[in-house]
Amino acid sequence: MSLSMTYEGVEKVFDPEGRNPVRALNSVSFTIEPGELFCLLGPSGCGKTTLLRCTAGLESITGGKIYYGERDVTTIPPFRRNIGMVFQSFALYPHMSVYENVAYGMRVRKVPEETIRTKVTEIMDLVGLPDVLKRNPSPTALSGGQKQRVAVARALVYDPEILLLDEPLANLDAKLRRRMRAEIRRIQKVTGITTIFVTHDQEEAMAIGDRLAVLRDGNVEQLGSSGELYHEPQNAFVANFIGKMNFFHGNVASAAGANRESPVRIGNELEIRPHSERIKLEGPLSPGQDVLVGARPENLSITNVSSAAGEAGGSGGGIVGRVNVIQNLGQITRYEVVVDDAYAIDALEVDMYAPVDGVTEGDEVAVQVNGEKALLFAPETVADTVAEEEEVS
């Protein structure tokens, strides 16, 4: 029987009485459904690992409550919580054999030797390592992927109520990481255990999680499925963190209609009219208000300036910029277009399904925005999150 998990106004302040207290978690409240594989995602320093460690009881919280199912575990030390955890470093015991590593949790619980043997065998089958058990080496002799599997086996074997995974794939190489994330999802679905998975890699989080929470500076910015986060980001930070987003400086052109829809100008060249569901600003839009327009690379397009001028002409021509890099990625062709600072925050990334005729690096092109798919956000600084996303801890 798997449990739900509830955070109720969880706060964590490091060094609260010290000279410079650090607020790591800010009134975090949400519920994880029983049997769910839930991802905590965010740039380093966002509080995701702190939240996980608080969930485990390795850190005490300074406010709020944490529930496993109906049980308030806020003050219960980790060893009385019946949870399993996989650490980034795997934390396998070098002085014990693989078998003893996996059996550890059951030895603590004084499970009879018979049961230990059958359960260890079962779990090693589940994680796909039945052969390792026959040789039963020290875990230091295992490969990265094998260590990972042993760590998962060790955390699951004593039937914990919650499974916590702290960046478990960060120490593996790229190829193995892809395979192991599918493995972890398979094992999690077989056991049906409520699982929290911490990562800073948005692709990994989207691939593995039933639902995700994006954290920033100790706050939950948004919570939802991969699709919701990608297509309906609540603010520019989430939009920028999940997938690539191009940001334009927009300006509300005239008063909003009945359903908040109103035309928004980007410079003098473009005017778009985003769908009302895609306006992520509070309150009514007033003419002249500054907004941030977000568009995914697949919602931008480019045309050759000379031909565009000939065919469409006038304001429909789009923002003029210079092609910096063209990457042919097979399925799509990606154009990096540098436009004037007045239009956009950064260089634009445009994904086209086919290469545009006659456009080479250094050429001038006109960029158009699919106004239907564009999003409107409150202006904020988003540039720094791009850098942090690249960071590998």
Partner 1 sequence: MAADSTRTQTESRIERLLQKDWTPYLIFALPLLFLVLFLFWPLATTVLRALSGPGFDIDLGNLSLENFNRFVTSPMYQRSLRNSFVVSVSSVVFASLIGLPMGYFVARVKMPFKNLFLSIGILPIIMPSFIGAFSWVILLGRQGIIRHFLNQIFMPFGIVIPSIYGLWGIIFAMSLTYFPFVFLLSYGAFSAANPMLEEAAMMMGARRPRIMRTITLPLVIPSLGAGAILVFIRSMGNYGIPAILGGDQYVLPTLTYFRVTGFWDLNSAAAIAMVSVAITGAALLLQKYVISRREYETVSSSRSEQHLHTHWLARLIAVAYCTLVLIVAMLPNITIIIMSFFEQWRGLFPTGFTLENYLRIPRMVSSEIFNSLFLSITASFITAVLGCMVAYITERRRPKGAVILDLAVMAPFILPGIVVSVALLSAFSGDTVLPLGGTFMIILIAFVVRRTPYVFRSVVASLTQLDETLEESSMIMGANWLYTFRRVTLPLIMSGIIAGTILTFATLLQELSTTILLYSARTRTVPVRIFSAVQDGYFGQGAALSVMLLVTVFIVVYAMNRMLGRSISSSFKLG
Residues at the contact surface with partner 1, assessed by CB under 8 A: 56, 58, 75-85, 87-89, 91, 93-95, 104-105, 108-109, 154-155, 158, 164
Chain center to CA of 191: 24
Q: Which residue's CB is nearer to partner 1, number 78 or number 144? A: 78
Q: From 61, 39, 66, select the one nearest 50 (Cα to Cα).
A: 61
d(CA 226, CA 30): 17
Nearest approach, Cβ of 392 to partner 1 (angstroms)?
Answer: 18
Nearest approach, Cβ of 224 to partner 1 (angstroms)?
Answer: 29
Q: Which residue's CB is nearer to partner 1, number 78 or number 379? A: 78
**Residue 372 tokens, joined:** 């239907």
Nearest approach, Cβ of 173 to partner 1 (angstroms)?
Answer: 21
Q: In the 8-state DSSP scheme, what is residue 187?
A: H
Nearest approach, Cβ of 87 to partner 1 (angstroms)?
Answer: 4
Q: Which residue's CB is nearer to partner 1, number 83 or number 302? A: 83
- 3 state DSSP class of 292: strand
Query: Do residues 328 and 372 lie in contact, with contact meaning Cβ atoms separated by under 8 Å?
Result: no
d(CA 40, CA 42): 7
Nearest approach, Cβ of 96 to partner 1 (angstroms)?
Answer: 8
Q: Which residue's CB is nearer to partner 1, number 154 or number 265? A: 154
Nearest approach, Cβ of 272 to partner 1 (angstroms)?
Answer: 50
Q: Which residue's CB is nearer to partner 1, number 4 or number 74? A: 74
The size of the chain, in residues, is 393
Nearest approach, Cβ of 156 to partner 1 (angstroms)?
Answer: 11
- 3 state DSSP class of 188: helix
Which amino acid would we find at residue 242?
I
Q: Which residue's CB is nearer to partner 1, number 95 or number 134? A: 95
Query: Do residues 15 and 22 lie in contact, with contact meaning Cβ atoms separated by under 8 Å?
Result: yes
d(CA 265, CA 143): 56
Nearest approach, Cβ of 13 to partner 1 (angstroms)?
Answer: 17
DSSP assignment string, 316-345: GG-EEEEEEEEEE-SS-EEEEEE--TTTBS
Q: Which residue's CB is nearer to partner 1, number 81 or number 178? A: 81
174-191 vs 113-126: helix crossing angle, rounded to 10:
130
**Residue 312 tokens, joined:** 């469409």
Q: Which residue's CB is nearer to partner 1, number 156 or number 279? A: 156
